[in-house]
A = this chain, B = another copy of it.
Amino acid sequence: MSLKIAIVDDNSFLIHAIKEKLSFFDEVMVKHTSLNGSELLAKLEDNHNIDLILMDIEMPVLNGIETTQVVKQKYPQIKIIMLTAFDNDENIFNAIKAGADGYLLKEINPKDLYDGIVETLNGGAAMNPSIALKTLKLLRNPLTIENEKDKEDISLSKREIEVLEQLSTGLSYTVIAENLFLSPSTVRKHIENIYQKLQVHSKIEAVQKAKRHNII
């Protein structure tokens, strides 16, 4: 059995160092490496037969957090371990929110890295103890930092938000219409407009995006 790995890091020297560490383990196969998120996404578009991605955070073009979010949305089966030099709360929290399955530091030794990969592929999460401590602290008192910066100007009308709230509980068009005393046609039209504003094409995507933007 082989473990198909991809590495994403803007420092080609560090990519080499990671490869070196993995070279001790025969079943680990580094399928490809990328220097930034966009490059990775292009490669996955071509072939998504990858088990796990080792991802740096600070990268040009598309950083590790945003890349993780996209990969997890499109290919939820692919595991992602953040492998970075920095361990500030902000990064850890955002990486976890984006869907990362683990968070390790670059100084890690080969065996621990390998163990982390295997444990993650077996359905666990990889974390070194100092990161684990930070996640515990985050759980005890949650950060409530909102990313104000990437708030694209999404402006839904009052009615649209109302419809979205109904949508989010899994109701059908007809039931929503009954609840709001509207014609099903109207509900459909509202939803159509919502999709356009949110740039999505299904109920679930709409609900997800709305939640990420704290609309509902």
Give A residues with C-beta under 8 Å from B: 48-49, 72-77, 93, 96-97, 99-102, 119-120, 122-130, 132-133, 135-136, 138-140, 142, 158, 162, 165-172, 178-181, 200, 202-205, 207-208
Residues of B within 8 A of A172 (CB): 202
Expressed in whole angstroms, the Cα–Cα distance for A208 and B128 within the complex equals 30
Q: B139 contacts A133, CB within 8 Å?
A: no
The oligomer's copy count stands at: 2
Tell me the nearest residue of chain B to A204, going by C-beta.
B170
Q: A76-B179, A77-B179, A135-B135 are in contact. Are A123 and B130 (CB under 8 A)?
A: yes
Question: Nearest 8 pairs between A and B by C-beta?
Answer: A124-B129, A170-B204, A125-B133, A125-B132, A170-B205, A119-B129, A76-B165, A73-B169
CB contact between A208 and one of B138, B139, B170, B179 (< 8 Å): that residue: B170
A180 to B: closest C-beta gap in Å: 6
Cβ–Cβ < 8 Å partners of A102 in chain B: 132
- The answer to whether residues A76 and B168 also contact, given A119-B129, A126-B129, A203-B203 and a CB cut-off of 8 A, is yes
Which chain B residue shows the least CB distance to A172? B202
A166 engages B97 (CB within 8 Å): no
Known: A48-B179, A77-B180. A122 touches B132 (CB 8 A): no
Chain B residues within an 8 Å CB radius of A48: 178-179
Smallest distance from the beta carbon of A194 to chain B beta carbons, Å?
A: 14
Contact A136–B72 (Cβ < 8 Å): no
B residues in contact with A207, CB < 8 Å = 204
Contacts of A208 in B (CB 8 A): 169-170
Which residue on B lies nearest to A129, using beta carbons? B124
Residues from chain B with Cβ under 8 Å of A72 in the complex: 169
With A203-B204, A204-B170 as contacts: A77 and B130 at CB distance below 8 Å: no
Tell me the bound Cα distance from A80 to B178 in angstroms.
19
Residues of B close to A129: CB separation below 8 A? 119-120, 122, 124-127
